[in-house]
């Protein structure tokens, strides 16, 4: 039955095929009228000429092979071993017109006639169809199963498919009937020979080119998805499926017991334990130790690995050890731990990773801290000044966000000099050398040295040019200026100095400076007395002046001075004012000094170097490279708690499949039943298996954290949002004392206690392992109504864990679905998507479009009423 959004056509060809009028020599022949129009360089027409041209299109004989991307899909996939015998093998092409492109025949008028594809798909057994070296040998049986026609005849196993979006697919199929459990060969071959005749007529074996080929095998038994799904019988199972009878021979008069498996009947619970059985089992148990503390070898004490008093002091421990049903389940876990001990231990060792290296690092760190702590406590002075003096040379390696402690404590605004922490200063100030022998006791002690270096000395007042000078300097400068010429002995030297300064003078003052220097030199040679002091001051100032206003003032002062150079220096107040007003171009005042708080500095430095502190540098640096340490005892030898990602149900299925679902052997073929998870079974088995694994790890001297529970997952649950593992229990050490075995408090927060599980025995999942299984609400107006099919877009509840028991039983767990509510749901089995498929037994139509529409196989969805899944329900 065709999908409403799909349409089928018998053929398609390119527009050039509209010109085809016939065929000759295996090629389609065509004719067209061609008109050539000429023009000169200026664009003026020079004439035209028309002519009819005949030509031929390429035919099947011109094709040597197909490009690798020409085929977009092959069905079944090459090498498939479970192909449905009622589905047609097919090929789809990237170019939808390819199957009809090289057919040696004309294109019929729109809406009339047919075109035979030049490609056909053959399917046969190895005896009927052989492919080697790009050639296919086609037997008579295969030829008769794929009859050919003329180029203008219809071929029902080739069609064009188009969807609502306009996407087109050219497809060639083989509609031959297939047998189950049979190997077949598929070959894509030309339907026509090079001269245009059909490649075979069914009378004798022929060999033709093979453009593509592969092989597959049909499944056993025969049947499609809908046939296998229709064979399922919901609820067809014994009512005690999920329970196993158990005998307790030590008390013959006691009634038989029943143990619920990992999957138990819906709504079931454990019956109370007969008193006589409980009393007898208690008599078999022995204490953990004798009266002097020696261990006694007796029955396993489940829970003892986490709490020594667990078997008797906790509710779950009393049940686990005192009820033979749960004790037997724990024994199954213990047996699994013994059988799988090497595999489990290796998995634990692999997860521990570099634990041995981490333990060695911690051991070395503890030794180093102990040695350095002892040395620190013996050698650290009590005085803060002595502590600073001892640690001072290392302050350059104590870094802060603003710089090292040495840089900050001796900064430009601090009283301590830059070299106070240097080793050179310590050598100069040590008390041993001869230079210190005659000094008074304590002269070179740390405290007075640091206190003296930390003293803030008042700065001298500022004077000429902003330079801090003694007050007497101003008077001396004035006296020097007023004194006039230097002595004759110094005149020559002063002249040379003036010439040097004049050479450095900037352009704006250079002329004035040169005139003054020239006249001074002339006067010196003539033996005249001149005002050398004032000249020296002005020339020197003119050589270093940088600002424009300074240069203007100096140039004017030099000009005036040049006019009275030979006069006595009666008063120089004007020149002194000019020079004094120059000052530095960018004066940088000295910062105000502050002393260092030596006590606070010592406290911080000692804390930074203290190896006994919890934040000691070496401690934090080494521990920072290790993960998983106990924050309460980081220096204790690390003992990691391994967590094995191992779904234990697989181990139970491999060793004791009947304990996963008791009554498994009696479950009929094609039965579908609803059961529920049994948390008491899961918790008991994990407790026993963990008990054995912890014992084995300690026996092999593999460190593991006290109270660890390595195996916490039974079902293979996964978080719907993150995809991460979801455990079935929390650590046994954290099970509340008063909680019964299997209680909700023993499970991770948010994990339901009981889940609905659907078990299916039959061929459906053997043939279709990718079948989509889900639940859909059957409620209509708030009440389940199984007379109304659910809409296709209804909300789905997908399974959160699933698996297979044995070769033919599959189960699907629906976390969060109360098993008692199963009657309000549809159970849906949906055929896995496999692309477009066509049945080989659904149509006898000869027209390709009709055959494609009738043979189209729509995906199947099978609905099973939830109220019929529980065994024993009507």
DSSP, collapsed to helix, strand or coil, labels residue 35 as: strand
What is the band of 401 on the pLDDT scale with cuts at 50, 70, 90?
Answer: confident
Share of the chain above pLDDT 70, in %: 83
134: number of Cβ within 10 Å: 12
Please give the pLDDT value at position 550: 66
Within a domain: 110: yes
Within a domain: 228: no
- Structure token pair of residue 410: 């001796």
Within a domain: 846: no
Read off the pLDDT of each residue in 202-219 and give the average, rounded to a whole number.
95
For 238, 288, 842, the CA distances from 691, given in Å and listed in that order, are 35, 15, 61
Q: Would the pLDDT of 177 be above 80?
A: yes
Q: Which residues pair with 36 in a beta bridge?
A: 49
654: number of Cβ within 10 Å: 12
Q: Which of 22-26, 226-230, 292-296, 758-762 has the largest mean confidence?
A: 758-762
Q: Would the pLDDT of 73 be above 90?
A: yes
Contacts of 649 (CB under 8 A, 6+ apart): 262, 660, 714, 715, 716, 803
Please give the pLDDT value at position 470: 47
Range of weakest confidence among 30-34, 227-231, 544-548: 544-548
**Interval 673-732: pLDDT, tens:** 999 999 999 999 999 999 999 999 999 988 888 889 999 999 999 887 787 889 999 999
Please give the pLDDT value at position 546: 63
Range of weakest confidence among 54-63, 386-395, 686-695: 386-395
ω into 719 cis (within 30 of 0): no
Task: For Cα atoms 791, 794, 795, give the angle at the middle one, nearest 5 degrees.
Answer: 170
Within a domain: 428: no
Helix axes 548-563, 573-580, angle to 10 degrees: 160
What is the band of 262 on the pLDDT scale with cuts at 50, 70, 90?
Answer: very high
Q: Would the pLDDT of 561 be above 80?
A: no
Q: Which of 199, 223, 247 is the last residue of a domain?
A: 223
pTM greater than the 0.75 cutoff? no
Q: Would the pLDDT of 593 be above 90?
A: no
448: left (phi over 0), alpha (psi -120 to 50) or beta: alpha
Q: What is the Cα–Cα distance from 383 to 386, expressed in whole angstroms? A: 5
Within a domain: 670: no
Residue identified by tokens 């499970």 is: 747
- How many domains is the chain built from? 2
Residue identified by tokens 């389609």 is: 28
Read off the pLDDT of each residue in 270-283 and give the average, rounded to a whole number.
90
Contacts of 170 (CB under 8 A, 6+ apart): 12, 92, 93, 95, 96, 97, 98, 99, 100, 158, 160
3-class SS letters over 325-353 = HHHHHHHHHHHHHHHCHHHHHHHHHHHHC
Q: Which helix (H) or strand (E) holds 290?
A: none
Full residue range of the structural domain in which residue 111 is found: 1-223
The answer to whether residues 138 and 186 touch, using CB atoms and an 8 Å cutoff, is no
Q: Would the pLDDT of 110 be above 80?
A: no
Read off the pLDDT of each residue in 865-871 and give the average, rounded to a whole number.
91
**Interval 597-637: pLDDT, tens:** 888 888 888 888 888 888 888 888 888 877 766 666 777 76
Q: What is the Cα–Cα distance from 645 to 640, expressed in whole angstroms? A: 15
Q: Which of 580, 612, 647 is the last residue of a domain?
A: 580
Q: Would the pLDDT of 567 be above 80?
A: no
Q: How many residues comprise the chain?
A: 874
Please give the pLDDT value at position 463: 45
How is residue 502 annotated by DSSP?
H
- Give the residue among 687, 643, 672, 710 at the shortest CA–CA distance from 302: 687
Read off the pLDDT of each residue in 29-39 and give the average, rounded to a whole number.
91
Q: In this structure, what is the dihedral angle of CA atoms 841, 843, 844, 845, given to the nearest 10 degrees?
A: -160
Within a domain: 588: no
Please give the pLDDT value at position 41: 86
- Structure token pair of residue 651: 């181990």
Within a domain: 341: no
* 148 vs 619, higher pLDDT: 148
**Interval 466-505: pLDDT, tens:** 444 444 444 444 444 444 445 554 556 666 666 666 666 6
Please give the pLDDT value at position 363: 84
For 81, 296, 306, 327, 766, the CA distances from 285, given in Å and listed in that order, are 56, 11, 19, 12, 47
Q: Would the pLDDT of 464 be above 50?
A: no
What is the band of 128 on the pLDDT scale with cuts at 50, 70, 90?
Answer: very high
Within a domain: 675: no
Range of weakest confidence among 105-109, 493-497, 598-602, 816-820: 493-497
Q: Which of 181, 201, 223 is the last residue of a domain?
A: 223
Task: For Cα atoms 509, 512, 513, give the angle at the middle one, nearest 5 degrees.
Answer: 80
- Give the residue among 832, 822, 819 at the shortest CA–CA distance from 773: 832
Q: Would the pLDDT of 135 be above 60?
A: yes
Phi, psi angle pair for 467, to nearest 5°: -85, 135
């Amino acid at each position: 039955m065709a999908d409403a959004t799909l349409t089928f056509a018998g053929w398609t060809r390119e527009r050039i095929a509209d010109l085809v009028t016939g065929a000759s020599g295996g090629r389609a022949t065509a004719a067209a009228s061609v008109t050539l129009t000429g023009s000169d360089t200026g664009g003026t027409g020079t004439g035209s000429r028309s002519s009819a041209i005949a030509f031929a299109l390429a035919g099947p004989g011109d094709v040597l092979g197909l490009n690798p991307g020409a085929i977009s899909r092959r069905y079944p996939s090459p090498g498939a071993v479970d192909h449905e015998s009622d589905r047609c093998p097919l090929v789809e092409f990237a170019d939808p017109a390819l199957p009809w492109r090289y057919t040696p025949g004309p294109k019929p008028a729109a809406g009339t006639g047919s075109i035979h594809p030049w490609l056909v798909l053959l399917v046969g057994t190895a005896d009927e169809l052989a492919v080697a070296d790009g050639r296919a040998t086609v037997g008579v049986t295969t030829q008769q199963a794929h009859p050919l026609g003329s180029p203008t005849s219809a071929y029902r196993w080739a069609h064009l498919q188009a969807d609502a979006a306009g996407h087109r697919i050219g497809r060639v199929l083989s509609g031959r009937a297939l047998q189950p459990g049979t190997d077949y060969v598929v070959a894509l071959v030309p339907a026509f020979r090079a001269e245009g005749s059909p490649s075979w007529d069914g009378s004798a074996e022929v060999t033709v080119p093979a453009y593509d080929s592969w092989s597959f095998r049909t499944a056993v038994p025969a049947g499609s998805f809908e046939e296998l799904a229709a064979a399922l019988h919901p609820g067809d199972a014994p009512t005690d499926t999920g329970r196993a009878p158990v005998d307790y021979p030590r008390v013959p008069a006691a009634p038989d017991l029943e143990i619920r498996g990992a999957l138990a009947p819906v709504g079931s619970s454990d019956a109370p334990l007969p008193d006589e059985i409980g009393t007898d089992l208690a008599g078999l148990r022995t204490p953990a130790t004798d009266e002097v503390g020696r261990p006694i070898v007796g029955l396993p004490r489940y829970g003892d690995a986490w709490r020594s008093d667990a078997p008797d002091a906790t509710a779950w421990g009393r049940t686990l050890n005192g009820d033979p049903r749960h004790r037997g389940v724990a024994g199954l876990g213990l047996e699994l731990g013994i059988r799988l001990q090497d595999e489990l231990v290796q998995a634990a060792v692999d997860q521990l990773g570099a634990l041995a290296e981490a333990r060695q690092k911690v051991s070395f760190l503890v030794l180093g801290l102990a040695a350095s702590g002892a040395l620190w406590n013996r050698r650290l002075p009590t005085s803060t000044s002595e502590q600073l003096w001892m640690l001072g040379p290392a302050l350059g390696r104590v870094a802060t966000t603003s710089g090292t402690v040495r840089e900050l404590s001796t900064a430009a605004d601090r009283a301590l000099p830059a070299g106070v922490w240097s080793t050179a200063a310590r050598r100069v100030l040590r008390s041993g050398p001869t230079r210190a022998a005659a000094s008074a006791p304590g002269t070179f002690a740390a405290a007075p040295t640091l206190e003296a270096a930390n003293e803030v000395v008042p700065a001298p007042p500022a004077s000429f040019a902003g330079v801090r000078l003694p007050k007497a300097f101003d008077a001396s400068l004035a006296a020097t200026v007023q004194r006039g010429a230097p002595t004759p002995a110094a005149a020559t030297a002063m002249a040379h100095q003036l010439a040097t300064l004049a050479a450095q003078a900037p352009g704006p003052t250079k002329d004035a400076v040169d005139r003054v220097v020239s006249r001074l030199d002339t006067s010196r040679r003539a033996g005249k007395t001149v005002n050398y002091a004032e000249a020296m001051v002005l020339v020197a100032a003119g050589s270093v002046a940088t600002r424009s206003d300074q240069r203007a003032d100096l140039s004017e002062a030099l000009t005036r001075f040049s006019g009275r150079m030979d006069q006595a220096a009666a008063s120089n107040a004007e020149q002194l004012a000019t020079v004094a007003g120059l000052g530095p171009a960018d004066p940088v005042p000295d910062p105000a000094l502050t002393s260092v708080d030596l006590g606070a500095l010592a406290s911080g430095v000692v804390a930074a170097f203290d190896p006994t502190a919890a934040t000691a540098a070496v401690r934090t640096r080494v521990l920072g490279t290790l993960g998983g340490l106990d924050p309460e005892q980081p220096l204790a030898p690390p003992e990691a708690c391994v967590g094995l990602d191992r779904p234990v149900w697989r181990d139970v299925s491999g060793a004791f499949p009947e304990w996963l679902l008791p009554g498994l052997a009696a479950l009929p073929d094609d039965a579908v039943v609803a059961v529920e998870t049994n948390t008491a079974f899961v918790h008991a088995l994990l407790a026993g298996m963990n008990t054995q694994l912890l014992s084995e790890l300690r026996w092999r001297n593999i460190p593991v954290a006290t109270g660890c529970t390595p195996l916490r997952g039974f079902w293979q649950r996964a978080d719907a949002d993150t995809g991460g593992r979801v455990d079935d229990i929390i650590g046994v050490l954290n099970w509340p004392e008063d909680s019964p075995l299997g209680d909700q408090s023993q499970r991770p927060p948010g994990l339901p206690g009981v889940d609905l599980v659907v078990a299916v025995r039959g061929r459906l999942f053997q043939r279709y392992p990718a079948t989509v299984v889900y639940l859909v609400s059957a409620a209509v107006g708030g009440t389940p109504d199984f007379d109304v099919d659910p809409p296709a877009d209804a909300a789905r509840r997908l399974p959160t864990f699933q698996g297979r028991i044995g070769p033919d039983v599959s189960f699907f767990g629906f976390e969060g679905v109360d098993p008692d509510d199963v009657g309000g749901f549809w159970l849906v089995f949906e055929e896995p998507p496999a692309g477009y498929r066509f049945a080989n037994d659904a149509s006898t139509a000869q027209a390709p479009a009709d055959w494609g529409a009738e043979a189209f196989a729509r995906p199947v969805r099978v609905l099973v009423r939830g109220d019929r899944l529980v065994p024993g329900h009507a």
